[in-house]
Structure 1
Amino acid sequence: MYSIQPDWALSSDIYKKRIINDMGIAHFYEFEVKNPGLAVLPSIPDGCIDLIFDISYDGDRAIAAGTVLERTKTWMVEGHTYFGMRFLPGVKPVFLEGSFGSYNHEQLDLPICGGDQFLTEKMCELPDFDSRCNFFLDFYRKKLGSLELPYTTTSEIMRSIVSEISDLRGNVRIDSIAEESGYTSRYIEKVFRDAMGLSPKKYAGILKFQSAIDFIDKNPTSNICDVATSFGYYDQPAFVRTFKKFTGLTPKEYKNIIKSQDYMNKIVLM
């Protein structure tokens, strides 16, 4: 599944996107913040880590931004162009230090948390979107090839849990995962929380919400009650509460915004 940050696209005239779905990378994106006076952009929970490069900064500026757990402001500046890559839900870039969970609600300078200063400098020097995408793919492929990632029972359990939750778009019961794996729900909870910094139930809820908002983006005339039912919410009020918690808007308010601003036509697949 591909997680989205709609406010980032809404802030721009064109939001370039290149889908990868390989090496743990979901997609690349690039956009210029056009909204006048905007110093920050809202981010919504997505279960992902992004690496974001400020191409317009006078110097080299890059951050590793972990998933937020509620609607949160992300540092971005009007008139600046940002290039980034979003990793698949639950995936931490191999060269970043710490656990996935240590990046939750954080926006850390990339060189400080394990990123290569050369990478930051190079990404800001390259002339266009395609060259930045291609350079990072080559850089990351070499990084993967040079690292020996340890195999542990815990890491294998985590990969299995994250994969199942993602495959089912968050619409899964944790006790079902435990039953299939042969481990207890308590053990699954502990392993997941230690690695991800949140419970598997919370993580699944984020992915379920992302699936629902992605559907609304592509089907802005859809009936909210039908969306709630289709994506496994108990009822429409439960869906509306979750939606407002994560976006600050009701589904109806959100639909009006994306229709009035022609949201989907801002996204250009490259």
Structure 2
Amino acid sequence: MNKVSKDLSIANIRSKQPWFVFCSAGEYSVKISSVPFISHFYSFEAKASVDVTNVIPDGCIDILFDCDSSKPSAIVCGTTLEAQSVDFIHQHRYFGVRMSPACIPNFLDISASDLVNQRPSFDETTHSISDVFENIVSQGCFTNQVDIFSDFLIKFGIRNHSTLTQEVIAHIFHLKGDVQITNLEALTGYTSRTIQRQFINDTGITPKAFCRIVRCQFAIYNINLNTEIKPSDIAYNLGFYDQSHFSREFKSLLKTTPNSYINHLKNSTYLEKIRFH
């Protein structure tokens, strides 16, 4: 895949976890899903040592399988509200499913709010899972794992959000997270209290938190594809008051500054590691 094609493929992924790529020993495999409520699938082998590996806010739920032959496991990763450290085990191969933002699978037996900032065990939070866990962890082929989990997830589908929440989510993405609650009142005709209550019930987080996450992810996307971009330009494009406001928000969510992240990317092989299937 040439650089232009790869950039277009990456552009189709709204939710990114760059430290997962940083900590991969070699190729980081990605498959963009044809199922609307799945963002993409990914797989990698963890390398020996990494200074720090963070999972950052992305508004998504991940199902992450550790496919180690001696002690396989799986967890459900609820969306975080700020960067959290995560430990990957050297030479273990991981297979992950990232849901589309705010989408919650029907097979999860847990509330949206109880998933925020949590990583419960897959078998403790699921029902009617049949033998999907065994099929995934025993399968060495990434594309076969994708097919197995796609078929499984399609059978259950996702929880239906209210029309109000769907409208709010679409508007937040359209404006790249630069949305005030008063804008949502004008858009929907509902009070802020009603919007907040329904949004939390459907997604587990507030509209404000979701806006912060979306702006964070758009900033990550801009930097990942152009490490020469200036933080001041990102701040302007995403509607921040100024560069210092953007830098504070970036560090609050990612535990690193925009400039430090840019330097990290420049010294890594981020784009070279990603392989689309």
Asked if these proteins are the same fold (TM beyond 0.5), I'd say: yes
Distance in 2 between residues matched to 1:124 and 1:106, nearest whole Å: 22
AA partner of residue 265 (structure 2): I
- Compared CA separation, residues 246 and 29, structure 1 to 2 (3 A): same
Shift of 1:158: 1.9
Instruction: Report matched runs for 1:198-237 at 5 Å.
Output: 198-237=205-244
Residue 146 of structure 2 is aligned to residue 133 of structure 1 = yes
TM-score of the pair, normalised by structure 2: 0.88
List runs of 5+ in structure 2 lacking aligned partners.
Answer: 1-12
Gaps (5+ residues) in structure 1?
none
Paired position in structure 1 for 2:165: 158
1:188-267 equivalences under 5 Å are: 188-267=195-274
Q: Deviations over 1:10-50 (max 9, x none)?
A: 01122111111524100000011103278x83111111100
Pick one of 67, 71, 90 that aligns with 2:83.
71
The equivalences for 1:168-179 within 5 A come to: 168-179=175-186
CA distance in 1, matches of 2:181, 2:22: 35
Query: 1:169: how far off?
Result: 2.5
1:101-135 deviation per Cα after TM superposition (whole angstroms, max 9, x unaligned): 22111111111101526111110011210000111
In the other structure, the counterpart of 2:10 is none
User: 2:53: which partner in 1?
Assistant: 41
CA distance in 1, matches of 2:170, 2:192: 17
For the structure 1 residues 41 and 261, does the alpha-carbon distance in structure 2 shift closer, same or farther, using more than 3 Å as the test? same
Residue 123 of structure 2 corresponds to: 111
Check the 8 A contact 1:60/1:120 in 2, yes or no: no
Deviations 1:34-72 (A, max 9, x none): 03278x831111111000000115243111001111110
Q: Which residue of 2 aligns with 1:99?
A: 111
The CA distance in 2 between the partners of 1:25 and 1:87, in whole Å, is: 4
Q: Runs of 4+ in structure 1 displaced over 4 angstroms?
A: none
Q: Which amino acid aligns with 1:120?
A: F
SS in 2 for 1:22: coil
- What's the CA shift string for 1:201-222, capped at 9, x where partnerless? 1111111110111110001011
Question: Secondary structure in 2 aligned to 1:170?
Answer: coil
Identity, in percent, stands at: 32
**Residue aligned with 2:246, SS:** helix
Equivalent in the alignment of 2:101:
89
Amino acid at match of 1:212: A
Q: Secondary structure at the match of 1:26?
A: strand
Task: Report the 3-state secondary structure (helix = DSSP H, G, I; strand = E; otherwise coil) of the residue aligned with 1:86.
Answer: strand
- SS of residue in 1 equivalent to 2:54: strand
Instruction: From 80, 89, 96, give the equivalent of 2:92.
Output: 80
Q: Counterpart in 2 of 1:24?
A: 37
Paired residues, what number?
A: 263
State the Cα distance separating 1:182 from its structure 2 match. 1.5
With over 3 angstroms needed to count, the CA separation of the structure-2 counterparts of 1:56 and 1:249, relative to structure 1, is same
RMSD: 2.0
Distance 2:97 2:258 in 1: 27
2:112, 2:201 within 8 Å by CA — same for their partners in 1?
no
Q: Which residue number in structure 1 is paired with residue 4 of structure 2?
A: none
Paired AA for residue 31 in structure 2? R
TM-score under structure 1 length normalisation? 0.91
2:67 alignment partner AA: I
